[in-house]
């Protein structure tokens, strides 16, 4: 199966705006959803890239999602003295492109902040700080583990989502 | 609970359509956890927001880490940051990202004309005439299709114009808010 990230790796990645999309990620994502013709891209017009090399059926957002809400897990499975929290940040109908764009998030914050890492191909962000473990997923799911209490978990959730705010689709 | 939604105008991440989105409150609406944050009163340490000013001249701008500036502004948005301030940080981050991209385009295409436009933008002396000029440049570029050998220079020239215009739209928006 060709993934969206496989497609992206072979794309021009110039972010020139010629096609009217704000970045190559957006153009490619729209292409995979049948909303954009690659012939609009200057690289394809010039013949440097070929449409046949890109899979229009690449999966953009294959994450399932429940309706938004917070679920606390007491105690946390990893450490019974601590709290875990799981949250879905958006409704499934808003997730056509996914909730967080982890390719953009990776570009903005990549390896800059200790403890914060990204895997754009899997669509995951991970923040490890003060013994806590927070995962953010492209579908808008956030999982906080090893939090001190409910309020602490909420604070971790808020911090990660706000850092990734610029990468919300 | 959460107002995250797809921007109907662009389908782009918030940072990329902050300046160009037609919707006045688009960035506010897409703040992921605003209702949570508004209920959190207690402060738990500061953010990493950099107050370092962005360069005002071309020479400094070329050596400046624009992407780093965008990062620091995004990382400055902490749970205790007021939503309005967080929106300002987002626009600052978007401005840094856009100028950085424009500069990449200028350097890769070696365009002197675009350098002049960038100098005007950095001095915050941007005008409607500059916008029109850039639109004309982009329209002119779109009139012809480049060869495979020159497409990189062509795309980078277009990139410079496109992102300069996007950065100017952020300046206008910020000026309108004052």
Tokens linked to B48: 């990493």
Smallest Cβ distance to B1: which of A29, A68, A108?
Answer: A68
CA distance A110 to A104: 9
Q: Is A164 helix (H, G, I), strand (E, B) or coil?
A: coil
CA-nearest residue to B159 within chain A is A16
Q: Is residue A13 part of a domain?
A: yes
3-state SS class at A142 = strand
The answer, as to whether pTM is greater than 0.80, is yes
Q: How far is A133 from chain B (nearest CA, A)?
A: 17
Task: Supply the range of the domain harboring residue A125.
Answer: 69-167
Q: Does residue A64 lie within any of the structural domains? A: no
Is the residue at A60 inside a domain?
no
Pair A73, A46 in one domain: no
Residue B98, pLDDT above cutoff 80: yes
Q: Is B131 exposed, middle or buried (0-12, 13-18, 19+ CB in 10 A)?
A: middle
Whether A120 is covered by a domain: the verdict is yes
- Tens-digit pLDDT profile for residues B118-163: 999 999 888 888 899 999 999 999 998 999 999 999 999 999 999 9
Residue A88 resides in a domain: yes
Q: Is B30 on the interface with A (CB under 8 A)?
A: yes
In A40-121, alpha helices (H)? 42-45, 102-109
pLDDT in tens, A100-136: 999 999 988 876 677 889 999 889 999 998 899 999 9
pLDDT confidence band for A61 (50 / 70 / 90): low
Most confident by average pLDDT, A21-35, B6-20, B68-82: A21-35
Q: Looking at the domain assignment, is residue A84 inside a domain?
A: yes
A156 and A103 in one domain?
yes
User: How much is the pLDDT for B42?
Assistant: 54
Are A166 and B105 in contact (CB < 8 Å)? no
Distance between start and end Cα atoms, chain B: 30
Q: Are residues A86 and A152 in the same domain?
A: yes
Whether residue A62 lies inside any domain: the answer is no
| ipTM of this complex | 0.88
Assess whether A14 and A89 both reside in one domain: no
Whether residues A83 and A107 share a domain: the answer is yes
Contacts of B136 (CB under 8 A, 6+ apart): none
Residue B84 has a pLDDT of 80
Number of folded domains that form chain A? 2
Q: Are residues A73 and A45 in the same domain?
A: no
């Amino acid at each position: 199966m060709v993934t969206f990230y496989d497609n992206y790796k072979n794309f021009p990645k110039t972010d020139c705006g010629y096609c009217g999309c704000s970045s190559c990620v957006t153009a490619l994502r729209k292409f995979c959803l049948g909303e954009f013709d690659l012939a609009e891209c200057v690289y394809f017009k010039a013949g440097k890239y070929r449409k046949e090399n890109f899979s229009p059926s690449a999966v953009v957002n294959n994450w399932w999602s429940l309706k938004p809400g917070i679920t606390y897990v007491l105690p946390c499975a990893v450490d019974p003295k601590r709290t875990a929290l799981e949250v879905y940040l958006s409704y499934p109908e808003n997730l056509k492109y996914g909730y967080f764009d982890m390719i953009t998030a990776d570009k903005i914050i990549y390896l800059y902040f200790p403890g914060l890492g990204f895997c754009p191909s899997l669509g995951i962000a991970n923040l490890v700080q003060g013994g806590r473990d927070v995962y953010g997923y492209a579908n808008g799911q956030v999982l906080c583990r090893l939090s001190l209490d409910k309020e602490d978990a909420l604070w971790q959730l808020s911090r990660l989502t706000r850092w990734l705010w610029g990468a919300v689709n | 609970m959460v107002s995250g939604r797809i921007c109907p105008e662009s389908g782009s991440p918030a940072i990329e359509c902050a300046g160009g989105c037609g919707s006045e409150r688009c960035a506010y609406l897409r703040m992921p956890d605003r209702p949570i944050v508004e209920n959190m009163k207690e402060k738990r340490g500061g953010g990493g927001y950099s107050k370092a000013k962005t360069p005002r001249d071309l020479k400094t701008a070329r050596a400046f880490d624009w992407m780093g500036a965008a990062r620091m502004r995004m990382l400055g948005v902490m749970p205790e940051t007021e939503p309005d301030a967080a929106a300002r940080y987002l626009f600052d981050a978007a401005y840094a990202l856009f100028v950085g991209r424009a500069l990449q385009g200028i350097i890769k295409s070696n365009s002197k004309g675009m350098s002049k436009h960038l100098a005007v933008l950095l001095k915050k002396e941007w005008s409607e005439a500059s916008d029109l000029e850039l639109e004309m440049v982009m329209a002119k570029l779109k009139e012809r299709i480049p060869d495979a050998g020159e497409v990189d220079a062509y795309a980078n020239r277009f990139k410079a114009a496109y992102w300069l215009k996007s950065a100017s739209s952020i300046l206008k928006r910020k000026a309108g808010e004052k």
